[in-house]
């Protein structure tokens, strides 16, 4: 089964996210469990946790269909010791919030070397950060999102993802989220079904398809290899529909959250319906 949804608002309380997802015809969704632009948030209240779980059950969202995203401030590969510790503590808090909500996954951007340490040193710090989070929170999978490669952000090459995973001690609790816009901006072609097939064959060879735990489905305003993280509505950008048709018809992408982060929430319902129309 294809689990298709969008990154919906949790404004007013996390329990509003499943309602917002249900209202656009989704059977998957992403959310922030706290303000994504703040380091510290109030602990989740038990009433909010109970209401979130009840609504997920009411609308048929099981934990494997929900892909929470962490704060944008976190840099698990920071060369600055103080910021690294702050990031690690914040990431552990995010994992703990997921666990309280009964969620199994936490999606995050891997980190940036800020041109102060080598790529390998930064990737090692990211893996070490994941290991520390695993020790602190027992049941949540750390899902590394590939990046567009803007600035000093790592994770844009499949080799970066593989190097992080190689250094994670508990391989059962690390995974990857592939963002189609980021993948294309990083230089992997997705404009035809053949190109998409080739890109995922490369991903499988370097990282391994079993590590794929979710996807962000976005078209790209930037051209191939532009390193621009600029999303577009599906079919309206440089990637086009062939890639998304391919993903919907390939069973390797079943039973993982396929989440829109496209630029016009008013058409998410139509985008989800169009994606479903491609399914075999």
Among 70, 134, 216, 246, the one annotated catalytic: 216
Among 97, 104, 160, 182, the one annotated catalytic: 182
101-127 residue pLDDT tens = 999 999 999 999 999 999 999 999 999
Among 70, 94, 96, 179, the one annotated catalytic: 179
Q: Are 120 and 127 in contact (CB under 8 A)?
A: no
Look at the chain and report how many structural domains it folds into.
1
223 CB-side CA count, 13 A: 0
Which CATH number goes with the domain that contains 19?
A: 3.20.20.150
Q: Which domain holds residue 212?
A: 3-278
261-273 residue pLDDT tens = 999 999 999 999 9
Looking at the chain, list the stretches that DSSP marks H as alpha helix, in order from N- to C-terminal side: 16-22, 46-59, 81-100, 119-136, 158-166, 180-185, 193-206, 241-249, 268-278
pTM of the model: 0.97
Could you tell me the two tokens for 10? 């949790």
109 is in an annotated binding site: yes
229 is in an annotated binding site: yes
In the predicted structure, residue 280 carries a pLDDT above the cut 70: no
């Amino acid at each position: 089964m294809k689990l298709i949804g969008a990154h919906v608002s949790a404004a007013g309380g996390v329990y509003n996210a499943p309602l917002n997802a249900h209202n656009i015809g989704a059977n998957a969704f992403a959310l922030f469990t706290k303000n994504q632009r703040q380091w510290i948030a109030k602990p989740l209240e038990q009433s909010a946790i109970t209401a979130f779980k009840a609504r997920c059950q009411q609308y048929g969202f099981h934990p494997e269909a929900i892909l929470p995203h962490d704060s944008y401030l976190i840099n698990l590969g920071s060369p600055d010791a103080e910021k690294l510790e702050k990031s690690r503590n914040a990431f552990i808090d995010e994992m703990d919030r997921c666990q309280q909500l009964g969620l199994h996954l936490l999606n995050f951007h891997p980190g940036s070397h800020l041109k102060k340490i080598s790529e390998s040193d930064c990737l090692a710090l990211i893996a070490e950060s994941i290991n520390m989070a695993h020790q602190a929170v027992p049941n949540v999978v750390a899902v590394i999102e590939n990046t567009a490669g803007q600035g000093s952000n790592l994770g844009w090459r499949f080799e970066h993802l593989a190097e992080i995973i190689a250094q994670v001690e508990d391989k059962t609790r690390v995974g990857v989220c592939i963002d189609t816009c980021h993948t294309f901006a990083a230089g992997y072609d997705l404009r035809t079904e053949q190109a998409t097939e080739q890109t995922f064959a490369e991903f499988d060879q370097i990282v391994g398809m079993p590590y794929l735990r979710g996807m962000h489905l976005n078209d790209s305003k930037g051209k191939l290899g532009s390193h621009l993280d600029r999303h577009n509505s599906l079919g309206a950008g440089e990637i086009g529909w062939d890639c998304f048709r391919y993903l919907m018809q390939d069973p390797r992408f079943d039973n993982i959250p396929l989440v829109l982060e496209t630029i016009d929430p008013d058409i998410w319902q139509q985008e989800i319906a169009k994606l479903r129309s491609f399914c075999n």
